[in-house]
Amino acid sequence: MKAKALRFKDTKEFVSIQFFGEEPIVGSCDLPTIQPMTATISGMKNVYESEDMEDLFDFDNMEFVELDIIEAGEVGADIRNKLSPCKTLASLVEAFLNEEHPDKKNGMKDLIWEVLKQNKESVEYIANLL
């Protein structure tokens, strides 16, 4: 699931806005405050402007960044599924190298090429996963 979080441009730390009474205190924190994908800096300015608090924030030094929120354990299962073509390719290459009959080897080549294509897609997916 995608979400946004507000962070400082210069330090890349996440912005923390805490209210004590009616006064907000702006600081940095390690954990992001999750915002919807529709959140914008101009929207934040409008909210605090309507409350006469816009002078308390340096929105020019803040930006929204997009985050991927992943449920615990989901990535591991996804990687295991994507490794299936890799295991299949290893088995096919091993069988191909052990096969001595030329006709059977020719038939295996097409299958190896097909699984190799799936293997490349899986490796690309895993490389871009995190």
d(CA 28, CA 7): 8
CB neighbours of 30 closer than 8 A, spacing ≥ 6? 13, 14
Helices (H) and strands (E) in the chain, counts: 4, 4
Amino acid (1-letter code) at residue 80: R
Give the chain's domain count.
2
**Do 63 and 78 belong to one domain?**
no
**Do 55 and 108 belong to one domain?**
no
pTM, to two decimals: 0.53
**Do 22 and 56 belong to one domain?**
yes
pLDDT in tens, the chain (130 residues): 889 999 999 999 999 988 888 778 888 888 998 999 999 998 988 887 877 776 778 888 999 999 988 777 677 777 888 888 899 999 999 999 999 988 888 889 989 999 999 999 989 888 887 6
Domain that includes residue 107, residue range:
74-127
**Do 82 and 118 belong to one domain?**
yes
